[in-house]
């Protein structure tokens, strides 16, 4: 497994969330009532929070995987 695959995932998640939030800001100009506030509260905010947690977890997994690959590919006479 290539560890740099995680970087692409993180970038795509961030880009998709930025695009969604920009679209939502445009939508709120036309749709600004109780239902839109409920939609934001019930769906968009939880999605944003879950995405932030996923990005952070993926960064941590990327670092752990990088270290594991480094340790597994080190020769028997190399030190840490």
pLDDT of residue 37: 97
pLDDT of residue 6: 84
Give the start-to-end residue ranges of the domains of the chain.
29-65
Q: Is 75 helix (H, G, I), strand (E, B) or coil?
A: coil
In angstroms, the Cα distances linking 22 to 25, 28, 43, 51, 56 are: 5, 10, 15, 15, 22
* pLDDT band at residue 80 under the 50/70/90 scheme: low
In the predicted structure, residue 1 carries a pLDDT above the cut 50: no
Six token digits for residue 64: 């752990």
Q: Give the pLDDT confidence of 19-63 residue by residue, as tens digits.
A: 999 999 999 999 999 999 999 999 999 999 999 999 999 999 999
């Amino acid at each position: 497994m290539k560890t740099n695959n995680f970087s692409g995932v993180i970038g795509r998640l961030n880009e998709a969330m930025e695009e969604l939030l920009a679209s939502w800001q445009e939508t709120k100009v036309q749709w600004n009532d109780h239902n839109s506030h409920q939609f934001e509260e019930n769906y968009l905010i939880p999605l944003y929070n879950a995405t932030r947690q996923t990005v952070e977890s993926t960064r941590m997994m990327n670092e752990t995987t990088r270290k594991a690959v480094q340790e597994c590919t080190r020769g028997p006479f190399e030190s840490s």
